[in-house]
Structure 1
Amino acid sequence: MNTQAVTLDEPITRGDSKIAFIEIRKPKSGALRGINLADLLQMNTDAIMKVTPRVSEPIITIQEAEALEPADLLKIGAAIASFLLPKEVQNSLQ
Structure 2
Amino acid sequence: MTDKQTAELPQPLTETVELDVPIQRGSQTVTELTIRKPKSGALRGVALTDVLQMDVTALTTVLPRITQPSLSKAEIGDMDPADLVQCGGVVAGFLLPRKAREGSE
Report the equivalent of 2:68.
Answer: 57
Report the equivalent of 1:87.
Answer: 98
Q: CA deviation at 1:15?
A: 1.0
TM-score, scaled relative to structure 1: 0.95
Q: How many residues align?
A: 94
- Greater Cα radius of gyration, structure 1 or 2: 2
Q: Which amino acid aligns with 1:4?
A: E
* Pairs within 5 Å for 1:9-28: 9-28=20-39
Query: Given the alignment of the two structures, is residue 30 of structure 1 paired with residue 41 of structure 2, yes or no?
Result: yes
Question: Residue 53 of structure 1: SS of its match in structure 2?
Answer: helix
Gaps of 5+ in 2: 1-11
Q: CA deviation at 1:7?
A: 0.6
Gaps of 5+ in 1: none
Structure 1 runs, 4 residues or longer, greater than 4 Å off: none
Q: Over residues 19-77 of structure 1, what are the superposed CA-to-partner deviations in whole Å (9 max), with x where a residue is unaligned?
A: 00000000000000000000011111110111010000010111101110100000000
Alpha-carbon RMSD across the aligned residues, in angstroms, is 0.9
